[in-house]
Amino acid sequence: DQQVKQNSPSLSVQEGRISILNCDYTNSMFDYFLWYKKYPAEGPTFLISISSIKDKNEDGRFTVFLNKSAKHLSLHIVPSQPGDSAVYFCAAKYSGAGSYQLTFGKGTKLSVIP
């Protein structure tokens, strides 16, 4: 019972174009969402987060959109650069008392082609 789903295992994008990575969740208790980037043989690196009280958060080339009614979020990277090639994980959290863990999707491998 995957509570956070990233249905695209991989994505290829031309350098300079927009990359859109998608994530769906099933647990309506989740109210905080994070994106992490991971290179091979390294730990995940925090990219950007969004609280459920917002529907958009932007940080430089990275924007996360949240659609609560659809239980869907997406990460937009524009313009995409070769250094963005990595595995991207979506993670979700319930911010209420007694909840500490992040629940991760399986990841989407992004390849940015020069």
Burial class (CB in 10 A: 0-12, 13-18, 19+), 112: buried
Cβ proximity to other proteins: between 52 and 74 the closer is 52
- Binding to other proteins by CB under 8 A, coded x per residue (else -) over 39-78, reads --xxxxxx--x-----------------------------
Choices 10-18, 54-62, 66-74, 87-95; region in contact with other proteins by CB under 8 A: 87-95
* Minimal distance, residue 86 CB to other proteins, in Å: 14
Least separation in angstroms between residue 28's CB and other proteins is: 18
Of the candidate spans 13-21, 56-64, 67-75, 92-100, the one that interacts with other proteins by CB under 8 A turns out to be 92-100
Distances, alpha carbon 113 to alpha carbons 22, 48, 93, in Å: 19, 23, 33
**Cα–Cα distance for residue pair 56/51, rounded to 1 Å:** 9
